[in-house]
Amino acid sequence: MLAWTPKFPRSALPLGYWRLLKARHQYFDRVGMTLGPYGVPKFTHRAGSQQRLALMRNKQKDRRCFIIANGPSLQQLDMTKLRREVTLGCNGIYSAFPDWGFHTSYLLYEDIEQLELRRHDVGQVKGPIKLAALYNAYAFKADRQTIFFNAPRMRGQRYYWEELYPQFSRDFASVVHLGSTVTYIMLQLAYHLGCNPVYIVGLDHDYGELPKLFPPGKITITEENIDQVRGLHFSDTYYQVGDQIGVPDVARQEAAYTLAREAFEADGRQVFNASAHTALDAFERCDFDGLFD
């Protein structure tokens, strides 16, 4: 899939396409070349992204983890309590790392517009293992901490909004399913890592007037609608005029969350919503501060 949007700079397309080809080539295991004794060249095996993901299976088995969404209720929590926990973050959450004094264990991306918006920052973020959809590779400079995953998506064809939706992946290394929110991808990663229990924070699931004013999809933020956007994330500067934001399909998100809960329960695991404020009832709620007594 060629995923870039009309806003992606044309001057950056050649480099972006080369990055995409490189990520595709390195997705599967491949044969490389190295120097052996006395400088004699020899063939060697190099693990691809899929193999690296496979090796992450059950890496955090039976450890609790915290999925950090980007809702404004994060401001009501003492995030420093998560310093030594397994944490999964996404999109622009890295801007809060200096305030927290730590970075998340994993940092995920999938949304095309989100990654184009933050493409200059993502490559500079150090510390977390970064995971992005394979079709995101064009937008940023991947480092050694970056792993690409396979999410089925094609331009103009959203199978995940039709009869096959929703689906939940029990093998993150093979396929990752979309659920109208990156939080759903983080849940699939937590399942793959073997985490139990899983706590979600910052998942307010409250989009104000936005879903009432616009249909699901992408809109450009303007002076006229920015008041509907402010207050939807942990920082009022999360988006600026001219940026694109996704208008959520709330019903489809809730269907995906319900399937995720059922997948965890079928495996004897649990997911809790520990957000300080939330309108989501798909997961049992719990008190964040009580988890650290």
Three-state DSSP class for 103? coil
* The pLDDT of residue 171: 97
Asked if residue 176 lies in contact with residue 188, where contact means CB atoms within 8 angstroms, the answer is: yes
Alpha carbons 38 and 208: distance in angstroms, whole number: 67
Task: Show the domains of the chain with their CATH numbers.
Answer: 50-207+248-292 (3.90.1480)
Alpha helices by DSSP H, listed for the chain, are 13-25, 49-54, 97-100, 112-117, 119-122, 182-193, 210-213, 226-229, 250-266
CA-based nearest residue to 199, from 280, 265, 272? 272
Angle, alpha carbons 168-172-173 (nearest 5°): 145
Q: Would you tell me how many other CB atoms lie within 10 Å of the CB of residue 15?
A: 12
H/E element holding 106? Answer: strand 106-109
74: its two tokens? 């994060």
* The pLDDT of residue 160: 58
Asked if residue 291 lies in contact with residue 218, where contact means CB atoms within 8 angstroms, the answer is: no
Instruction: Decide: residue 221, CB within 10 A, 0-12 exposed, 13-18 middle, 19+ buried.
Output: middle
Alpha carbons 247 and 180: distance in angstroms, whole number: 10
H/E element holding 42? Answer: strand 41-46
Asked if residue 275 lies in contact with residue 73, where contact means CB atoms within 8 angstroms, the answer is: yes
CA-based nearest residue to 286, from 103, 61, 100, 64? 64
Amino acid symbol at 159 = Y
> What count of residues does the chain have?
293
CA-based nearest residue to 183, from 259, 109, 101? 109
* The pLDDT of residue 156: 60
Strands 65-68 and 198-201: parallel
Q: Would you tell me how many other CB atoms lie within 10 Å of the CB of residue 227?
A: 10
Please give the chain's pLDDT, 293 residues, in tens. 678 888 899 999 999 999 999 999 999 988 776 777 777 777 777 889 999 999 999 999 999 999 999 999 999 999 999 999 999 999 999 999 999 999 999 999 999 999 999 999 998 999 999 999 999 999 999 999 999 999 987 666 555 567 788 999 999 999 999 999 999 999 999 999 999 999 999 999 998 888 888 898 888 989 988 888 888 899 988 998 998 888 989 999 999 999 999 999 999 999 999 999 999 999 999 999 999 97
Asked if residue 20 lies in contact with residue 135, where contact means CB atoms within 8 angstroms, the answer is: yes
Asked if residue 49 lies in contact with residue 27, where contact means CB atoms within 8 angstroms, the answer is: yes
Give the gyration radius of the chain's Cα atoms: 19
Q: Would you tell me how many other CB atoms lie within 10 Å of the CB of residue 144?
A: 7
Peptide bond between residue 14 and the one before it cis (omega within 30 degrees of 0): no
DSSP 201: E
